[in-house]
Amino acid sequence: MATQTSSLIGVDLTGTGGTTQLFALGTVATGDSASLWQYIQATSTLVTGTVVNIGAAGTGKVMMTAMLTGIATGVQLGFAQTLVNQGEFAWVALMGKSMYVLTSGSLTATTNDTLVGFGPNSGRLVPSTAGTLGSTALGIYLLSSVGTADLAAGVPTIATLVWPRMSQGQ
């Protein structure tokens, strides 16, 4: 887990969230391992590795493919690195090395160009073998493989996140 390197006092990137707001929503902090983090309030429960849709007001919810429809301004993606219950405040990773990411299919490490979307309601990346969803996940480079047993247990894979985003029509 990353350690904070910015000058903000009281930042705990390893924390599981809490019900007391400690920073302004949307505050950004830097960490080691080239990581960048944003402070959010969860509007749904986020398990470790969940792909998070960060709203303009600093709220975060489970990302789904349906949220990409009709979006002209883009979506800020984050990745929960710990359990964050609905209503809690926490830091989610925007970028960094060795970050947790959930998927909805078996994947082999380095298949970064075959992540095509999100599960219908899971906040998990979906591989191209799940069917064409009209978008491609860019900036997410898997460092470990995901097998059937991992999926059943909800085990996230490890990835490097470099400006994660979705590209429509790929």
**What pLDDT, in 10s, does the model give residues 27-49?**
999 998 889 999 999 999 999 99
Look up the pTM and report it: 0.84
Map residue 142 onto helix, strand or coil: strand
**What pLDDT, in 10s, does the model give residues 48-105?**
999 998 988 999 998 876 666 655 556 788 999 999 999 999 999 999 999 998 887 6
Q: Two tokens at 64?
A: 């789904």
To which residue do tokens 């599981």 refer? 16
Radius of gyration of the chain (CA): 15
